C-alpha cells in the first residue's frame, strides 16, 4: 500500500483520535493476515465491534465532558419565568390636553 503524507490542523484530542483509528486499522490488517483460513471475517468483525464500541464510548464521553465544561465556564443558566399578568405601565390619562388649558 502506498503511503502519502498529509498535513492537518488538529487539536490534541483530534491527534489522539486519528492516531488511535490508524492503529486500529493497522491491527485489523494484521489480524486479517494472521487469522486462520475460514475465520478471517469473523475475527475481524469481532475486533471491529469491540474496538468500535470502546472508541464510540470514549468519543461520547469526551464530547459530553466538553459540553459540561463549557456550560460551567459560562455559569448557571437563567430559568425562564412566566409573566404575572397583563398590567399597564403608563400613567392614567386625565383626559385634558395641555393645549386646551391655554
pLDDT of 9-24, one tens digit each? 999 999 999 999 999 9
Spatial distance between the Cα atoms of 99 and 45, rounded to a whole number of angstroms: 90
Name the more confident of 44 and 84. 44
pLDDT band at 98 (very low <50, low <70, confident <90, very high): low
- Please check whether residue 44 is in contact with residue 28, taking contact to mean a CB–CB distance below 8 angstroms: yes
Amino acid at each position: 500500500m502506498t503511503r502519502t503524507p498529509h498535513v492537518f490542523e488538529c487539536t490534541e484530542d483530534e491527534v489522539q483520535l486519528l492516531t488511535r483509528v490508524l492503529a486500529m486499522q493497522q491491527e485489523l490488517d494484521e489480524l486479517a493476515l494472521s487469522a486462520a483460513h475460514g475465520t478471517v471475517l469473523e475475527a475481524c468483525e469481532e475486533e471491529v465491534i469491540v474496538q468500535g464500541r470502546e472508541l464510540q464510548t470514549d468519543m461520547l464521553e469526551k464530547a459530553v465532558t466538553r459540553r459540561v465544561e463549557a456550560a460551567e465556564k459560562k455559569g448557571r443558566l437563567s430559568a425562564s419565568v412566566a409573566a404575572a399578568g397583563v398590567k399597564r405601565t403608563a400613567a392614567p390619562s386625565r383626559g385634558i390636553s395641555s393645549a386646551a388649558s391655554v
